[in-house]
Amino acid sequence: MREIPGRRRRLRFRHKGTPAQLDAALTCATAWHWPVLPGVGLGPVARDDRGRGCACPDPECVVPGAHPFDPGILAATTDARMVRWWWTNRPTAPIVLATGGRAPCAVSLPAVAGARALAALDRMGMRLGPVVATPTRWSLLVAPYSMEQLGELLYAKDWVPSSLRFHGEGGYLVLPPSEAGTGQVRWERAPLPGSASPWLPGVEAVVDALVEASVSAPAEGFTPPEAGDGTRLTY
Protein backbone atom coordinates (compact mmCIF):
# COMPACT_ATOMS: atom_id res chain seq x y z
CA MET A 1 0.00 0.00 0.00
CA ARG A 2 1.43 3.37 -0.95
CA GLU A 3 1.49 6.40 1.27
CA ILE A 4 -1.21 9.02 0.68
CA PRO A 5 0.53 12.22 -0.48
CA GLY A 6 0.35 15.10 1.93
CA ARG A 7 -1.29 13.12 4.71
CA ARG A 8 0.46 12.25 7.93
CA ARG A 9 -0.40 9.01 9.63
CA ARG A 10 -0.12 8.51 13.34
CA LEU A 11 1.26 5.20 14.48
CA ARG A 12 -1.08 3.24 16.73
CA PHE A 13 1.36 0.88 18.41
CA ARG A 14 1.12 2.81 21.69
CA HIS A 15 0.33 0.72 24.73
CA LYS A 16 -1.50 2.34 27.61
CA GLY A 17 0.88 3.70 30.21
CA THR A 18 4.02 3.19 28.11
CA PRO A 19 6.18 6.30 27.68
CA ALA A 20 6.24 7.54 24.08
CA GLN A 21 9.98 7.12 23.55
CA LEU A 22 10.08 3.60 24.96
CA ASP A 23 7.03 2.54 22.98
CA ALA A 24 8.45 3.89 19.72
CA ALA A 25 11.88 2.37 20.38
CA LEU A 26 10.30 -1.03 21.03
CA THR A 27 8.30 -0.78 17.81
CA CYS A 28 11.46 -0.04 15.84
CA ALA A 29 13.45 -2.81 17.49
CA THR A 30 10.92 -5.64 17.79
CA ALA A 31 8.28 -5.02 15.12
CA TRP A 32 10.52 -3.64 12.37
CA HIS A 33 13.89 -5.13 13.44
CA TRP A 34 15.65 -1.78 13.23
CA PRO A 35 18.66 -1.54 15.61
CA VAL A 36 18.33 1.47 17.91
CA LEU A 37 20.05 3.05 20.90
CA PRO A 38 19.46 6.17 23.00
CA GLY A 39 20.90 9.47 21.83
CA VAL A 40 22.87 11.73 24.12
CA GLY A 41 20.00 14.20 24.49
CA LEU A 42 20.01 17.87 25.41
CA GLY A 43 21.67 19.59 28.34
CA PRO A 44 19.55 20.81 31.28
CA VAL A 45 20.12 24.51 30.63
CA ALA A 46 20.54 26.80 27.64
CA ARG A 47 24.13 27.35 26.56
CA ASP A 48 23.39 30.35 24.38
CA ASP A 49 20.50 32.29 22.88
CA ARG A 50 19.83 29.45 20.44
CA GLY A 51 18.44 27.23 23.17
CA ARG A 52 19.61 24.14 25.00
CA GLY A 53 22.91 22.65 23.96
CA CYS A 54 24.05 19.04 23.74
CA ALA A 55 24.51 16.93 26.86
CA CYS A 56 27.84 15.70 25.50
CA PRO A 57 31.10 17.37 26.64
CA ASP A 58 31.65 19.19 23.32
CA PRO A 59 30.51 22.83 23.70
CA GLU A 60 30.62 23.21 19.90
CA CYS A 61 28.62 20.05 19.09
CA VAL A 62 27.14 20.46 15.60
CA VAL A 63 24.28 17.98 16.15
CA PRO A 64 23.20 18.78 19.72
CA GLY A 65 21.29 15.95 21.35
CA ALA A 66 21.00 14.04 18.08
CA HIS A 67 23.91 11.60 18.22
CA PRO A 68 25.05 8.53 20.18
CA PHE A 69 27.48 9.09 23.04
CA ASP A 70 27.30 6.44 25.75
CA PRO A 71 26.67 3.79 24.57
CA GLY A 72 28.32 4.17 21.18
CA ILE A 73 26.73 3.41 17.82
CA LEU A 74 27.99 -0.20 17.83
CA ALA A 75 25.74 -0.93 20.81
CA ALA A 76 22.57 -0.47 18.72
CA THR A 77 20.31 -3.47 19.14
CA THR A 78 16.91 -5.01 18.44
CA ASP A 79 16.86 -6.74 21.84
CA ALA A 80 13.69 -5.74 23.70
CA ARG A 81 15.23 -6.19 27.15
CA MET A 82 18.09 -3.82 26.37
CA VAL A 83 15.75 -1.27 24.81
CA ARG A 84 13.48 -1.38 27.87
CA TRP A 85 16.45 -0.95 30.19
CA TRP A 86 17.82 2.04 28.26
CA TRP A 87 14.57 3.97 28.05
CA THR A 88 13.41 3.04 31.55
CA ASN A 89 16.55 4.75 32.83
CA ARG A 90 16.38 7.62 30.32
CA PRO A 91 12.71 7.94 29.28
CA THR A 92 13.18 11.12 27.22
CA ALA A 93 16.33 10.04 25.37
CA PRO A 94 16.21 10.52 21.58
CA ILE A 95 15.78 7.36 19.51
CA VAL A 96 18.82 6.83 17.29
CA LEU A 97 18.64 4.39 14.37
CA ALA A 98 21.92 2.75 13.35
CA THR A 99 21.67 2.92 9.57
CA GLY A 100 23.02 0.36 7.12
CA GLY A 101 23.52 -3.37 7.24
CA ARG A 102 20.00 -4.80 7.30
CA ALA A 103 18.57 -1.55 8.66
CA PRO A 104 17.25 1.31 6.56
CA CYS A 105 19.61 3.90 5.17
CA ALA A 106 18.57 7.49 4.50
CA VAL A 107 19.08 10.48 2.22
CA SER A 108 18.58 13.90 3.81
CA LEU A 109 18.39 17.47 2.56
CA PRO A 110 17.38 20.89 3.92
CA ALA A 111 13.75 21.13 5.05
CA VAL A 112 12.57 23.69 2.49
CA ALA A 113 14.17 21.75 -0.35
CA GLY A 114 12.80 18.51 1.08
CA ALA A 115 9.22 19.76 1.11
CA ARG A 116 9.56 20.97 -2.49
CA ALA A 117 11.15 17.69 -3.57
CA LEU A 118 8.42 15.57 -1.95
CA ALA A 119 5.75 17.58 -3.74
CA ALA A 120 7.55 17.00 -7.04
CA LEU A 121 7.96 13.29 -6.30
CA ASP A 122 4.23 12.99 -5.58
CA ARG A 123 3.42 14.62 -8.90
CA MET A 124 5.72 12.11 -10.60
CA GLY A 125 3.88 9.24 -8.91
CA MET A 126 7.00 8.12 -7.06
CA ARG A 127 6.32 5.68 -4.25
CA LEU A 128 8.08 6.82 -1.08
CA GLY A 129 8.80 5.19 2.24
CA PRO A 130 8.83 6.91 5.63
CA VAL A 131 10.12 10.47 5.81
CA VAL A 132 11.59 11.95 9.00
CA ALA A 133 11.37 15.71 9.48
CA THR A 134 13.05 18.23 11.75
CA PRO A 135 12.74 22.01 11.49
CA THR A 136 15.99 22.10 9.51
CA ARG A 137 16.26 18.84 7.52
CA TRP A 138 14.06 16.12 6.04
CA SER A 139 15.31 12.55 5.65
CA LEU A 140 13.92 9.96 3.22
CA LEU A 141 14.40 6.40 4.44
CA VAL A 142 15.63 4.03 1.73
CA ALA A 143 16.52 0.37 1.41
CA PRO A 144 19.97 -0.64 2.72
CA TYR A 145 22.85 0.04 0.36
CA SER A 146 26.60 -0.46 0.48
CA MET A 147 29.17 2.29 0.12
CA GLU A 148 30.29 0.62 -3.11
CA GLN A 149 26.75 0.86 -4.51
CA LEU A 150 26.49 4.48 -3.49
CA GLY A 151 29.88 5.31 -4.95
CA GLU A 152 28.97 3.78 -8.31
CA LEU A 153 25.62 5.57 -8.30
CA LEU A 154 27.13 8.99 -7.64
CA TYR A 155 30.08 8.44 -10.00
CA ALA A 156 27.68 7.77 -12.87
CA LYS A 157 25.98 11.14 -12.45
CA ASP A 158 27.09 14.48 -13.84
CA TRP A 159 26.16 16.09 -10.54
CA VAL A 160 24.02 15.70 -7.43
CA PRO A 161 22.62 18.34 -5.06
CA SER A 162 25.48 19.60 -2.95
CA SER A 163 23.29 19.69 0.15
CA LEU A 164 22.32 16.02 -0.09
CA ARG A 165 23.62 13.83 2.75
CA PHE A 166 23.75 10.05 2.83
CA HIS A 167 23.27 8.00 6.00
CA GLY A 168 24.61 4.53 5.25
CA GLU A 169 26.67 1.81 6.90
CA GLY A 170 28.09 3.08 10.19
CA GLY A 171 25.81 6.12 10.21
CA TYR A 172 22.82 7.09 12.29
CA LEU A 173 19.56 9.00 12.15
CA VAL A 174 17.33 10.32 14.94
CA LEU A 175 13.74 9.02 14.77
CA PRO A 176 10.45 10.37 16.17
CA PRO A 177 9.35 11.15 18.76
CA SER A 178 12.61 12.77 19.81
CA GLU A 179 13.84 16.24 20.59
CA ALA A 180 17.16 17.55 19.33
CA GLY A 181 18.89 20.89 19.37
CA THR A 182 17.14 21.88 16.15
CA GLY A 183 13.69 21.08 17.56
CA GLN A 184 11.15 18.27 17.53
CA VAL A 185 11.70 15.23 15.31
CA ARG A 186 8.50 14.01 13.65
CA TRP A 187 7.17 11.82 10.85
CA GLU A 188 6.32 13.77 7.71
CA ARG A 189 5.37 10.45 6.14
CA ALA A 190 4.89 7.86 8.88
CA PRO A 191 5.18 4.09 8.38
CA LEU A 192 1.79 2.52 7.78
CA PRO A 193 0.24 1.27 11.05
CA GLY A 194 0.38 -2.47 11.55
CA SER A 195 2.99 -3.11 8.87
CA ALA A 196 5.51 -5.84 9.72
CA SER A 197 8.30 -3.67 8.36
CA PRO A 198 7.94 -0.38 6.47
CA TRP A 199 8.45 -0.54 2.71
CA LEU A 200 11.56 1.29 1.50
CA PRO A 201 12.51 2.53 -1.99
CA GLY A 202 15.95 1.99 -3.45
CA VAL A 203 18.45 4.81 -3.06
CA GLU A 204 18.91 5.00 -6.84
CA ALA A 205 15.20 5.77 -7.31
CA VAL A 206 15.27 8.53 -4.72
CA VAL A 207 18.47 10.18 -5.97
CA ASP A 208 17.36 10.04 -9.59
CA ALA A 209 13.99 11.52 -8.71
CA LEU A 210 15.50 14.30 -6.61
CA VAL A 211 17.79 15.33 -9.43
CA GLU A 212 15.03 15.08 -12.05
CA ALA A 213 12.60 17.02 -9.89
CA SER A 214 15.19 19.74 -9.37
CA VAL A 215 15.82 20.04 -13.11
CA SER A 216 12.20 19.85 -14.28
CA ALA A 217 10.75 22.13 -11.62
CA PRO A 218 13.38 24.69 -10.60
CA ALA A 219 12.22 26.98 -7.85
CA GLU A 220 13.60 29.22 -5.14
CA GLY A 221 16.93 27.83 -4.04
CA PHE A 222 17.85 26.49 -7.49
CA THR A 223 20.97 28.03 -8.98
CA PRO A 224 21.56 27.45 -12.72
CA PRO A 225 25.07 26.12 -13.42
CA GLU A 226 27.85 28.23 -14.76
CA ALA A 227 30.10 26.81 -17.43
CA GLY A 228 32.38 24.23 -15.86
CA ASP A 229 30.57 24.38 -12.53
CA GLY A 230 30.12 20.87 -11.11
CA THR A 231 27.83 21.96 -8.31
CA ARG A 232 24.60 22.72 -10.11
CA LEU A 233 22.15 22.73 -7.26
CA THR A 234 22.42 24.74 -4.07
CA TYR A 235 19.93 25.31 -1.29
- What is the model's pLDDT at position 35? 97
Residue 178 lies in a domain: yes
pLDDT tens digits, one per residue of 217-232: 444 433 333 333 333 3
Domain housing 57 = 20-216
pLDDT at position 121: 85
Q: What is the mean pLDDT of residues 126-136?
A: 94
**pLDDT tens per residue, range 76-98:** 999 999 999 999 999 999 999 99
* DSSP for the chain, written as a single string: -PPPTT-------PPTT--HHHHHHHIIIIIS---EEE---EEEEEEETTEEEESSS-TT-SSTT-S--SS-GGG-B--HHHHHHHHHHSTTPPEEEE-STTS-EEEEEEHHHHHHHHHHHHHHT-----EEE-SSEEEEEE----HHHHHHHHHTSS---TT-EEE-TT-EEEESSEEETTEEEEEEEPPPTT-SS-----HHHHHHHHHHHHHHS--TT--PPPTT-S-----
**Is residue 231 included in any domain, yes or no?**
no
Domain presence at residue 152: yes
Residue 147 belongs to a domain: yes
Provide the whole-model pTM. 0.81
The model's confidence at residue 40, banded by pLDDT at 50, 70 and 90, is very high
In a domain, 171, yes or no: yes
Query: How many separate domains does the chain show?
Result: 1
Q: State the pLDDT confidence band at 30, using cuts at 50, 70 and 90.
A: very high
